[in-house]
Amino acid sequence: MSDTRATAEPTEPAETTEPTETTGITEPAEPAGTVTAPTAAPHSPSAPGRRSGKVSPRGRRAATLAAGVLVLLALPFYVSSFWLQTGLFAMAAVIGAIGLNLLSGTTGQLSLGHAFFLAVGAYGYVWLASEPSGTGYGSRYGLGLPPVLAFVLAIVLAGAAGGLFSPISGRLRGMYLGIATLALVFLGHHMMLNAPQVTGGFNGRSVPPLDILGFSFTDTSPDGLTVIGVPFGGLERLWYVGLALVAVAWLAAHNLLRGRPGRALGAVRDSEVAAAVMGVHLTRYRASAFIISSMYAGAAGALLALVFKRVVPDHFGLLLSIDYLAMIVIGGLGSVGGAACGAVFVALIPHLLTKYADDLPLLTAPGTTGSGVSPGDAARYLYGTAIVLVLIFAPGGLAGLARRRPRGKGDDSPRTRRFPLRNRTTPKEHTP
């Protein structure tokens, strides 16, 4: 057997190697006479691991989001007033549900008094923006502020109401806190009925329209406004105000949860003892969560008042608080997107059932007599069924179901966690 090493001609190793132009790192010289397998170019189609022609999950999400935004912006040009009004109700519900989710889903403070803070925002806007009128028992108080300023101050007023209640919420936990917040609903309803100079009493008060620098969000001023040949009335104009408010509420909650305050709120929910050991000020964060949630509710209430054009006490009863709890449970506790999806589901169902009551079995149209179920009751039956199904089969709600989607073959992106607190990075390996 011949020795190949003996027959190979000895070659002199390279004396020096020049550093590469791009990195400046000296590459070791390969011994002469060795055969190396050809390597694929980094950008060649045969390079392993390259996903040619595929869009990353982040790119798909961005494209989906952009398409959704474009559809929402174009809806006033194609849909009727009924759908615009229903969509505005859903937007108000989304804002309020995000706020309640920050309080109950992220911080773990049960609240049954969300309707009270919505009422504070709605009546606060009416009182701040209305001009005083009438005399005697029929007099109505008002400050006559510019509507935009009144809208902002109504949100602040709702936050102040939440701040006044925060010392009580800091002392109570669980069911006891829920019962204490439930008292706010009854107390607020009593005040709405017995303070007619401010709230209008049982008949309520008309809502001043929103006005920005002379541009009114009603059918007038400017009268006969058309955009690309489409008449733009009050609902069309208010639609974009609702979209802007939803975007601000969404981004603010998302940034809050992704930052240090969000992790602290999650720590308060998981274990107050552990949070205190880590240096989280429990009282401060619990109060902050209540104030922020109340401000969200105030914005939702003010927007709801602008859509209703007249606020009455029956709009802000206990059933409204239960609806908001259903929104965050169905959507998913602790998730901004889940709260929004749950709010849209709960807000749309009654309006859809009312519109199509004549075509659906077992339903009785509003204002008619029959043996069927009213659309409002049918909607609550659906909520109850959805809540039971979610609690049994999908505790994470709609947001949890979205995370269970099957991953594609090339989808190697890390899965998002349910709460920001648990979104930890992989621990580094110990190197001596």
- 3 state SS of 216: strand
Which pLDDT does position 424 carry in this prediction?
Answer: 46
CB 105 within 8 A of CB 339: yes
CB 336 within 8 A of CB 101: yes
CA distances from 326 to 1, 183, 312, 317, 375 (A): 84, 19, 23, 15, 17
Which pLDDT does position 124 carry in this prediction?
Answer: 95
- 3 state SS of 228: coil
* Amino acid symbol at 110: L
Closest CA to 134 of 70, 46, 90, 198: 198
One DSSP character per residue, 36-61 reads ------TTSTT-TT--TT---HHHHH
Is the pTM for the entire model greater than 0.85? no
Go through the chain and tell me how many residues it has: 432
Token readout for 354 is: 């009312």
End-to-end C-alpha distance for the chain, whole angstroms: 48
Closest CA to 123 of 151, 145, 159: 151
Domain residue spans of the chain: 75-315
Give CA–CA dist 242/91, Å, rounded.
6
Token readout for 312 is: 């009455």
Which pLDDT does position 408 carry in this prediction?
Answer: 56
10-residue mean pLDDT series, the chain (432 residues): 43 45 44 46 47 72 90 92 94 96 91 94 95 82 93 96 89 88 92 91 91 85 81 90 96 92 88 87 90 96 94 92 93 90 92 86 74 83 89 86 65 50 46 44
Burial class (CB in 10 A: 0-12, 13-18, 19+), 46: exposed
Which pLDDT does position 51 carry in this prediction?
Answer: 53
